[in-house]
A = this chain, B = another copy of it.
Amino acid sequence: MKLELLQHTGSFKPRGAFNRILAAQAGGDPAPARAGVIAASGGNHGAAVAFAARALGIAAEIYVPEATPAAKRARIESYGAHLVAVGADYAAALAACRARQAETGALDVHAYDDPDVIAGQGTAGRAFEQDAPDLTHVLVAAGGGGLLAGVAAWYSGGAQVIGVEPEACPTLHAARAAGRPVPVQTGGIAADSLGARQAGANVFPIVAAHAAALVLVPDAAIEVARRLLWDRIRVLAEPGGATALAALLCGAFVPPEGARVGVLVCGGNTGSLPE
C-alpha cells in the first residue's frame, strides 16, 4: 500500500498543485508572482493549492461550493488562502472561479484536467515503483481521473494500472461507454472526493491509452475496506481513499496467479471512524 493520505493536507493532491505552479514559474509565466493562483475544489485540491502557494510564497484564492463543511473551509484558510464559498456544487464554484480568474489573471490550477497537474499526480506512481519495484498491478481510485491518468502514464509498459470507481460515481465508465467525456450523476459515500461529474478532456485519452482496466465497486465494499484499513493497520482513510482497496476485497478485481498487487490509499480527510 502506498499511503498518500499521510502527505501534507491529507491527500496526494499537493503533487499536482506544486507541479502546476512550479512548471508555470519555470516556464517564465509571470501570473503566479503577479496575481497568485486560483482554484475551484470540493476540498482536497483546494487545501493542496493553498498549501503549495503558501510554501512558494504566493497568494491563493480558493472557490468551494456553499455546502463545503466548516472543517474543510477552516483547513484551507489555515494555509493562508482567501476562501470564497459560492454555488450549489463543484461546477458552480468552478464557473465562479473562472470568471474571477478572467478578472485577476491568476494562474488557474485545475483539480484534475491539466497536463501539469496530471504529471504531478503521476509522481505518486514513480514513488510507489521506487518503494516496491516488483508490483505487477496497481489499483488507483478515480474521480476526475487526474491521479489515475498520471499513475497509468508513469507505469505505461510496466505494472498494469487498474482504475477503480464507485458505482455511484461512474465518471470514467460513462466516458468510456460514450467514447468521450460526458456528464454523469454522482453520489454515494465517496462523492466528496470522487464525485467529479465529467472526466477531463486531457484525462480521458491518457486513461484510455494507459490504464489496463476500469472497475466499479459498491459503496458497501468501500465501507468494508475503510473498516479493514482502520481495524488492521490503523490507517484511517476517507471513503475515496479506501476505494482502490475495495476492488480487491469485493472481487471487482481478481489478481491473476502470482500477481503482486499495489494499492494506493489516496486520502484521509474524514471526520469519522468507521462504524
Contact = CB atoms under 8 A, between A and B. Distances in A.
Interface of A: 5-6, 8, 10, 75, 231-236, 268-269, 271-273
- Copies of this chain present in the complex amount to 2
A8 B271 contact: no
A234 B271 contact: no
A234 B5 contact: yes
Contact of A236 (B75, B232, B234): B234
Nearest to A231: B75
Contact of A6 (B75, B234, B271, B272): B234
A199 to B, nearest CB: 27
A202 to B, nearest CB: 29
A124 B36 CA distance: 45
Contact of A234 (B10, B232, B272, B273): B10
B233 A236 contact: no
Nearest to A271: B273
Nearest to A78: B231
Contacts of A233: 6, 8
A9 B77 CA distance: 36
B234 A268 contact: yes
Contacts of A236: 234, 236
